[in-house]
Homo-oligomer: A and B are copies of this chain.
Amino acid sequence: MKVFIEPIGRLINEFTKLPGVGSKTAQRFAYKIINMSEEEATAFAESIINAKKQVKYCKVCGNFSEGETCDICKERTGDTICVVKEPKDVIALEKAHEYSGVYHVLHGTLNPLEGIGPNEIRIKELLARISQGGVNEVIMATNPDVEGEATAMYIASLLKPLGIKVTRLAHGIAVGTDIEYADVSSLSRAIADRRDM
C-alpha cells in the first residue's frame, strides 16, 4: 500500500521542486495546503499561474515587468546603467535605496565551460542602448565570482574604447562583519581596494 494517497503524493512531489525543500518539508507544506480553506488554496494556486503569466521582461533592460517596459525604465533617466546578472539582483539593489539610475539585466554571465559566450547573454542589447548616446557611466554589478568578474572585465573592455566610464561595485568586508570572522577573499579585496580617509 502506498503511504500517500495520489493527490497528496503529487503535491509533495511538486513542493520538492522548490529550492532547498526536501521530502519532510514538502510534507509539512502539503499538510498546510490541505488544512487551508478552499478559497485560500485557490488564491495560492492562482498566484502561481498569475505570476507565470503576468511577469514578463522589460524590452529595454530585461528586468521583471508587467508591461512591455518596466517602471524603472519609464521613470528614470538613462545616463547611468547598472549591469546585473539576473532580475533578482535589480530587486536586491533597489532595496538598498542608494542607486537611482537604470539597469541592464544580462540574464546570465559568461561561462565558456557551459557554452555561454557573449552572444548567449544580453551584451549586444547593452551596446545598442549605449550607441543611442546619453550614457555617462556603466556600473558593473555582476557577482564577485569567476564568471561575474570575467563578464565585468569583458564588458569593460568593450565599453572603454567608446569613452564610457566603467565602474565596478566595491567589494570588501561586509558591513557588520568582524574582521576576525571575515573570509579571506573579502579581506584581501578590502586591503587591495583600501581608500583614503
Contact = CB atoms under 8 A, between A and B. Distances in A.
B10 A50 contact: yes
Interface of A: 1, 3-8, 10-11, 13-14, 17-20, 25, 27-34, 36, 38, 40-55, 64-66, 70-72, 75, 88, 91, 94-95
A151 B98 CA distance: 58
A1 B33 contact: no
A70 to B, nearest CB: 8
10 contacts: A6-B54, A7-B55, A10-B50, A10-B51, A13-B47, A14-B43, A27-B88, A34-B64, A41-B52, A44-B48
Q: What is the oligomeric copy number?
A: 2
Contact of A33 (B38, B41, B51, B95): B51
B42 A49 contact: yes
A32 B14 CA distance: 12
B44 A17 contact: yes
Contacts of A47: 7, 10-11, 13-14
B46 A8 contact: no
A133 to B, nearest CB: 26
Nearest to A70: B5
Contacts of A1: 71-72, 75, 94
A36 B46 CA distance: 15
Nearest to A76: B1
Q: Which of A11, A48, A72 gathers most chain B CB within 10 Å?
A: A48
A72 B1 CA distance: 8
Contacts of A91: 3-4, 27
Contacts of A70: 5
Contacts of A29: 18-19
Given A20-B28, A28-B20, A7 B71 contact: no
